[in-house]
């Protein structure tokens, strides 16, 4: 098996006195889609945010343990957070394009990085929007406000915005739960294409979605990982009774 691209070890997280994660150990392989599932409040989003230090922005959070990205602990004081979040990008539940043009959304991170060459920016805009499977729908309106597009198109524009800065890992927190089934299906197909080049870790409440698109599934409960295995095994023949009860809809 390949070396994990990102791996959490013995990760505990506290919001003030409340412990939300207990001793999480999870390895993620490159070019796979891994789904994080479990009942509401079990810590999926909290864990996902640990993987690019988004919890740093929340007051009163304490984290112990390690998250290694390409073998380096991202919680080391030497970590450059801007670089980290370029390498490990994030897409949220609600599409959140900036309130300006599609073109400026996609080039935002590149301009911050000092890229000014118009031809290069144009190329990256086209490539990213194509990878996010939204190019055909927006190519004639690149200078329209991104908020004037549908929710599903906005979410794919947000995916393109992450892709533009060449990440290697994409974290997704319920990226389709605010979308209609057709838009969701388009995003699922996009993710299956993207995994050839990227590693994707996705929180989802939609068990059918997890079983359709993910290679691995981690089942969380009350801040702990109950089971983590190949998705097919998790849904057909899990080791743990709690997993079986959850994936068969007996609770949650
Ligand atoms: N900023 C915060 N401050 C305090 N407690 C928090 C904060 N964010 C989350 N929690 C708590 O941590 C626990 C895990 O929450 P988290 O949002 O990670 O769960 P989740 O599995 O993603 O839930 P959901 O599926 O409902 O989004 C919950 O008990 C939640 O109330």
CA of 112 to the centre of ligand 1 (A): 32
CA of 59 to the centre of ligand 1 (A): 14
Q: Which domains does the chain have, with CATH numbers?
A: 6-247 (3.40.50.300)
CA of 43 to the centre of ligand 1 (A): 6
CA of 39 to the centre of ligand 1 (A): 11
For the chain, list the strands marked E by DSSP: 6-15, 18-28, 33-37, 61-69, 72-73, 88-91, 169-173, 199-203, 216-221, 224-230
The residue to mutate among 19, 44, 219, having the most atoms of ligand 1 within 8 angstroms of its beta carbon, is 44
Looking at residue 101, the DSSP 8-state letter turns out to be B
* Number of neighbouring beta carbons within 10 Å of residue 15: 15
CA distance 66 to 139: 42
Split at pLDDT 50, 70, 90, the class of 250 is confident
pLDDT tens readout for residues 109-150: 999 889 999 999 999 999 999 999 899 999 999 999 999 999
Tell me which residue has its CA closest to atom 7 in ligand 1. Answer: 15
CA of 193 to the centre of ligand 1 (A): 30
Tell me which residue has its CA closest to atom 9 in ligand 1. Answer: 46
Split at pLDDT 50, 70, 90, the class of 252 is low
In this prediction, residue 179 carries a pLDDT of: 84
CA of 153 to the centre of ligand 1 (A): 28
Are 191 and 212 in contact by the 8 Å Cβ rule? The answer is: no
Tell me which residue has its CA closest to atom 31 in ligand 1. Answer: 41
In this prediction, residue 107 carries a pLDDT of: 97
Q: How many CA atoms lie within 13 A of 128 on its CB side?
A: 28
* Number of neighbouring beta carbons within 10 Å of residue 233: 14
In this prediction, residue 219 carries a pLDDT of: 98
Instruction: Locate 61 and state its tokens.
Output: 């959070």
pLDDT tens readout for residues 64-119: 999 999 999 999 999 999 999 999 999 999 999 999 999 999 999 999 889 999 99
Residues with a CB atom less than 6 Å from ligand 1: 15, 18, 20, 38, 40-46, 58
Q: How many CA atoms lie within 13 A of 68 on its CB side?
A: 14
Are 20 and 50 in contact by the 8 Å Cβ rule? The answer is: no
CA of 138 to the centre of ligand 1 (A): 35
Taking 90 as the threshold, does the pLDDT of residue 1 lie above it? no
| pTM for the full predicted model | 0.95
Split at pLDDT 50, 70, 90, the class of 205 is very high
pLDDT tens readout for residues 146-204: 999 999 999 999 999 999 999 999 999 999 988 889 888 989 999 999 999 999 999 99
Helix (H) or strand (E) holding 38: none
The residue assigned the tokens 């945010």 is 49
The residue to mutate among 24, 39, 42, 209, having the most atoms of ligand 1 within 8 angstroms of its beta carbon, is 42
ipTM surpasses cut 0.85:
yes
CA of 15 to the centre of ligand 1 (A): 9
Instruction: Locate 220 and state its tokens.
Output: 């969380």
CA distance 38 to 159: 24
Taking 70 as the threshold, does the pLDDT of residue 27 lie above it? yes
When pLDDT is averaged across residues 38-58 and rounded to a whole number, the result is: 95
Tell me which residue has its CA closest to atom 23 in ligand 1. Answer: 41
DSSP 53-81: TGGGGSTTEEEEEEEEETTEETTSTT--H
Closest ligand 1 atom to Cα of 203: 22
Closest ligand 1 atom to Cα of 38: 21
pLDDT tens readout for residues 222-248: 999 999 999 999 999 999 999 999 999
């Amino acid at each position: 098996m390949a070396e994990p691209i990102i791996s959490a070890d013995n990760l505990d997280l506290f919001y003030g006195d409340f412990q939300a994660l207990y001793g999480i150990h999870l390895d993620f392989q490159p070019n796979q889609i891994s789904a994080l599932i479990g009942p509401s409040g079990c810590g999926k989003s909290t864990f996902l945010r640990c993987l690019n230090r988004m919890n740093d922005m929340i007051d009163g959070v304490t984290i112990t343990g390690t998250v290694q990205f390409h073998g380096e602990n991202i919680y080391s004081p030497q970590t450059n957070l801007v670089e980290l979040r370029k390498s490990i990008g994030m897409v949220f539940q609600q599409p959140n394009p900036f309130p300006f043009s599609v073109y400026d959304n996609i080039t935002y991170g590149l301009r911050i990085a000092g890229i000014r060459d118009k031809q290069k920016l144009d190329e990256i805009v086209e490539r990213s929007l194509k990878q996010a499977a939204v190019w055909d729908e927006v190519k004639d309106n690149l200078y329209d406000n991104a908020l004037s597009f549908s929710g599903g198109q906005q979410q794919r524009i947000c995916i393109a915005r992450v892709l533009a800065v060449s990440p290697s890992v994409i974290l997704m927190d319920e990226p389709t739960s605010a979308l209609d089934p057709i838009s969701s299906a388009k995003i699922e197909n996009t993710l299956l294409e993207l995994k050839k080049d990227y590693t994707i870790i996705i929180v989802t409440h939609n068990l059918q979605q997890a079983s359709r698109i993910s290679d691995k599934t981690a089942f969380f409960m009350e801040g702990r990982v109950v089971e983590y295995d190949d998705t097919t095994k998790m849904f057909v023949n899990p080791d743990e009774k709690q997993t079986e009860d959850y994936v068969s809809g007996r609770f949650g």
